Amino acid sequence: MSTELPSPGPRPTAAIGLVPFPERSCVFSGVPLAACPPVSHQHWRTSRQWHPRRKSHRTFLETALAVLLWPAAAWCADADAAHLLIPRPVSAAAQPGVFRFTPSTRIVADGPARAEAAKLVNLLAPAMGYRLELGEAAADATPVVHLQLRADSTGKLGAEGYRLDVAPDRIDLVAPTPAGLFYGIQTLRQLLPPPIFSPRKVSGVQWTVPCVRITDYPRFAWRGLLIDPARHFIPKGDVMRFIDAMALHKFNRLQIHLTDNEGWRIEIKKYPKLAEIGSKMDWTLRRKGANATPRFGFYTRDDVREIVRYAAARHITVVPEIEMPAHTGAATVAYPHLSLTPDALAGLPPEERWRKIRGVVAPRPETVAFLQDVLTEVTDLFPGRYIHIGGDEANTKHWQASDEMQAQMRRLNLKDVHELHSWFIKQIDAHLTARGRRMVGWDEILQGGLAPGATVMSWRGVAGAITAARAGHDTVMAPTSHTYFDYYQGPRESEPQAIGGFVPVEKVYRFEPVPPELTPDQARHVLGAQAQLWGEFIPDHKHRQYMAFPRACALIEVIWSPLEERDDNLFLRRLAHHLTRLKAAGIHYRPLDANP
C-alpha cells in the first residue's frame, strides 16, 4: 500500500498556453502516513463497495482519458463557457468576442456592493501583478467591471443567485445579495485563464474572458464540507486555506468536528480543563503511544472568532459540532464526573484516563447542565443558526448495565435506553431553541423520538432523511455511500491509507440528494448535502486536499447545478480543465485516473 500522496498529473501547459508557475508553499507537519494503524475491513464506517468493473465506471475513465488528450481549441477563450465552469451554471449563452483585462480596467460599485468589488480586486491582483482601480459607478466608463446589488424582478435568483453579462467593453455582475455577487465573482475568475489562481505574478498571459451571458443560482441551500480537528488538530491557517478552496467552489457550510474521544479543540471559559487536558491527545497518539508524533492543540476564543470572520467574508457559515452523548472521551478525561464511573476515573492521572474512557457520558441532569453551559459559550462564538451536537453511535449498553441509569429511567418514566437517549437530546434541543438556534444531529437522534426543532443529518444511508422529511423535519444528506471523503477513491494498493470503503469521483457525481420516496412537499425538507473528511487518517493539510479534491468538485455540481443538466462526459471535460485551476492555486488534488 502506498503511503505517499501522488502528485497532481502533468498540466497540459502547451495545449492551453499556460506558463509554468511554482507550487504554493505550505507548512506540513505531523504523523507520517506510514505510521497510521491498519483498519479492519469490518470497521463501522466501511460501506458496501461500488464495483470498479461496472460498465459505467469503465466509460467514465475512458472518457477521462479522451478529455486529457483534447486539443488546445477545446479550452480557448471563445469556447462554450458552460463547458468550462464548475459548478455548471443554470444557463450560459456564449456571445462573440472577449473582454480583456488591462491595468486600465476599472472595477466599479456603489454602496454595499463595494465590499464584494474589493474582494474581486484582491483576488485578481496576485496573478495579474497589478491592482485594478476600484471606484464609483460611471455609465460611460470602459473597460469596466460593474458590480451592482439589485432586486431580482423574476424571483428566480433567490438569496444566492446572480447574472453575469460579459461584453467586449464591459462586464456587468448583478445580484440581489452580496452572496450572489461573491458567487458571480468566482464564476468570473473561472472564465479567466487558469493562471489567475496563482498566488504570484504570472507573466505572458492575456487576461481575457469569453463574452457570455450567465444566469445562475443554487439548487440547494446547504452545500457543506466537514473537517475533523478532533482526531488530528488542524492549525488555524490550514482551516483558512481550506475555506479558500471551498469559496472557489461556492460551498457555503463548513462543519468543524471540534470534540471527540481523541481530543477537545475549543476553549470553554467556564470549564478550562476541557482544553487544558482534553486537547493533549490525537488519534495516532492514542493508538501508538510514545511511538507517535502527536498533532494536538485547541482553538482559543480569539482563534474561533477569526475563523468565523474569515469564513463569513467568503459567505461560508461555520457549523460547530460538539459531540454528545457519545464521542465524549476527551470531556470525561478532563472532567471525570461526567462519566458513568467518576470515582474510578478521578483516581487516575489524566494521562492514564485515556485508556479507561467508554466514550459516552452519563446522561444525568448535572451532565445536561454542564453541556448546556458549554453550548451557551459555543453559541456566543458561532453566530450561525445551526449547532451540531453529534448524537451518533452512543453505546447505550453502558447505560443499560448501569444501576444509576436504570434508576434514572424509572424516575423519568422512560421505558428503555433509546428513550433515555431521546430525553437527553431533547434537553439539548430545548436549550438551543431558547437561544434562537437550530439543533443538528446525525440520524441516530431519531431513535426514541425526534426533538421538535431538530435537523437530521442522514449518514447511515438515506432512511434517516426519509423519516425526518416525512415527519416535517429538515434534513441534510451525508450518506457514507457517496459523501464520506475519508474513504478510498482509488485502488487501495496505490492510495494512501484510508479508513475503508470506496467513493470515487464518478460515484459522487452520480449522487442524487432527493430520495425518490419523498413527495414534492416532503422533498422541500432536503436542505442539501455535505461531504465528510473524518480525520483518523488525514493528519495534515496536504492530505486533506488530496482526499477532498476533485471529489468536492463533483459534489458541488450535484448540489448547485440543475439535475437535468448533469452529464458525465461534459463534467469530465470541465473537470480536466478545472484541475489546471487547482494546480495554479496550489491545491494538492488527486489526479484523474488516465487508464480504464
Strand 91-100 versus strand 144-149 pairing type:
unpaired
All three cell numbers of 229, joined, read 480537528
Residue labelled with grid coordinates 467574508: 313
Question: What distance in Å separates the CA atoms of residue 98 and residue 81, rounded to the nearest whole number?
Answer: 12
- What does the alpha-carbon distance between residue 431 and residue 587 come to, in Å, rounded to a whole number? 40
Furthest CA-CA distance within the chain: 80
Residue 22: exposure state from Cβ atoms within 10 A (0-12, 13-18, ≥19)? exposed
Q: Return the residue matching grid coordinates 451571458.
A: 213
Strand partners, 174: 148, 163
Cα dihedral: 561, 567, 570, 576 (round 10): 80
Q: How far apart are CA 573 and CA 464, in angstroms?
A: 35
Cell, residue 436: 434562537
Residues recognised as catalytic: 260, 327, 393
Full 3-state SS string of 314-337 = CCCEEEEEEEECECCHHHHHHCHH
CA atoms of 438 and 527, how far apart (whole Å) = 13
CA 211 to chain centre: 32
Residue in 223, 225, 259 with CA at minimum distance from that of residue 242: 225
List the Cα angle 347/421/462 in 5-degree steps: 125
Write out the E strands in 362-489: 386-390, 438-442, 455-458, 475-477
- Are 125 and 131 in contact, with CB atoms under 8 Å apart? yes
Residue 572 cell numbers, joined? 469530465
b/e sequence 330-366, b meaning 16+ C-beta within 10 Å: bbbbbbbebbbbeeebeeeebeebbeebbbbbbbbee
